[in-house]
Structure 1
Amino acid sequence: MTAVSAPAVAIKICGVTTPGAVDSAIRARADHVGFVFFPPSPRALTPREAATLGARAAGRIGRVGLFVDATDALIAEAVDAAGLDALQLHGEESPARAAELRARHGLPVWKAVPVASAADIDRAAAYLGAADLVLFDAKTPKGTLPGGMGLAFDWSLLSGWRNRAPWGLAGGLAPGNVAEAVRLTGAPLVDTSSGVETAPGVKDPALIAAFCATARG
């Protein structure tokens, strides 16, 4: 895959669960933090817990709520509690569902698309016009969590997508490979979770700082 030049990359630190992790992302000049509203995840928050973190992040960094086939009630409660700036849909949500939520809440919608083959990239085209950003993530094994597993996919699959619509790259990104990922794909946004952790859900300030510096470097 031929390397491509790209403008400054935006950075999202997903799965933050503590005030310290929010502060670390802000210090490292990340653009977004992600709050996970999916109970099976080790990074899951209740709306009440997210309210504290959302207030801490307000006006300092973008707040993205991650949902997996969530009910209208949960999404509405989380939006109000955490002051979310965007909704990230990480389940089987259809383009119609993405468009519906964008209209209802007046917020940008990011749709995560799990990738294992070129056919998965093609499937993302269905969300053009319905979602504001497509986030390409690694497809996890059946029966496991839909993200945060530290898995990567073949980045060369993205060569046919570039410039079709706003997009981002997730899946197995860490300080050791994010520069290569940006260099090869030209990703305008990179998203990490387990790549900046010392244990599931435990963010490391030094890894967050290294990830942000390397992604931009």
Structure 2
Amino acid sequence: MRPRSSKTTAKTCGLSTPETVDAAIGGGASHIGFVFFPRSPRNLSFDQAAGLAVRVPSHVKRVGVFVDPDDALIEQAIGAARLDAVQLHKTAPDRIAHLRSAFHTEIWAAIAVKTRADLDAAHHYAGVAERILYDAKTPEGALPGGMGVRFDWTLLDGFRHPLPWALSGGLHTDNVGEAIRRTGASLVDASSGLETEPGVKSVDKITSFLQAVAAS
């Protein structure tokens, strides 16, 4: 069991309907994730994102999720969804440094984890990102996230995190309490574990997940 300095908060990711956004806000989510990646079943158009973003109060942060995006996509998404932060998968540190400088926004760098050695990549993002998101490494050719895959949480034991961090990868109502107790994560992130099928979020699953986080 790892100690925590404060209560764990939660990001609900890949939301695409008003009902699920409202459920996340009502359940106490600290962050809401909007996906901008055409291959994902959770991908949003800019118009969809704009319509959802207006429902999000200022105390809940809007996070855009991208996979090695170009500047134009980031710029349009920030404007449409009024993003507070940008979460980047498969994006090199020098590219992240450029995006941070160009858009002056909070950056989360996603690290795909399968082995202890994978964690070392986190150190390359010190000074160019505000947060590390540890996610499970998915099979070659698969989507980089939202696949319901988890990694071995014991890999985090004793690791010196270079930045504030969040835990992702295969989290759902039944395991998030254990994940928090085991890792000491102060922020957890769920997507596929809140769905009835890929891209279709469940209000009930969102609600029960956030209740489980609050109870941990």
- Please report the TM-score for the alignment, with normalisation by the length of structure 2: 0.96
CA distance in 1, matches of 2:56, 2:72: 23
> Shift of residue 132 of structure 1?
0.5
Corresponding position of 1:159: 157
Counterpart secondary structure, 1:149: coil
Corresponding position of 1:140: 138
Counterpart secondary structure, 1:184: helix
Q: Which amino acid aligns with 2:147?
A: M
Matched, 1:130 2:139: no
Corresponding position of 1:42: 41
> Shift of residue 161 of structure 1?
2.7
CA distance in 2, matches of 1:54, 1:162: 35
Corresponding position of 1:210: 208
Corresponding position of 1:149: 147
Give RMSD over aligned pairs.
Answer: 1.1
Q: Which amino acid aligns with 2:50?
A: A
Percentage identity across paired residues of the two chains: 50
Unaligned runs of 5+ in 2: none
Matched, 1:178 2:176: yes
> Shift of residue 54 of structure 1?
1.0
> Shift of residue 60 of structure 1?
4.9
Q: Which amino acid aligns with 1:48?
A: D
CA distance in 1, matches of 2:211, 2:60: 17
Counterpart secondary structure, 1:88: strand
Matches within 5 A, 1:46-85: 46-85=45-84
Q: Which amino acid aligns with 2:99?
A: L
CA distance in 2, matches of 1:73, 1:105: 11
Query: Do 1:26 and 1:60's aligned partners in 2 also have CA atoms closer than 8 Å?
Result: no
Return structure 1 stretches of 4+ with deviation > 4 angstroms: none
CA distance in 2, matches of 1:163, 1:124: 8
CA distance in 1, matches of 2:171, 2:159: 19
Counterpart secondary structure, 1:56: coil
Unaligned runs of 5+ in 1: none
Counterpart secondary structure, 1:26: helix
How many residue pairs align between the two structures? Answer: 214
Corresponding position of 1:106: 104
Counterpart secondary structure, 1:97: helix
CA distance in 1, matches of 2:160, 2:20: 31
- Please report the TM-score for the alignment, with normalisation by the length of structure 1: 0.95
Corresponding position of 1:116: 114
CA distance in 2, matches of 1:50, 1:174: 24
Q: Which amino acid aligns with 1:80?
A: G
> Shift of residue 96 of structure 1?
1.5
Counterpart secondary structure, 1:137: strand
Corresponding position of 1:201: 199
> Shift of residue 98 of structure 1?
1.3
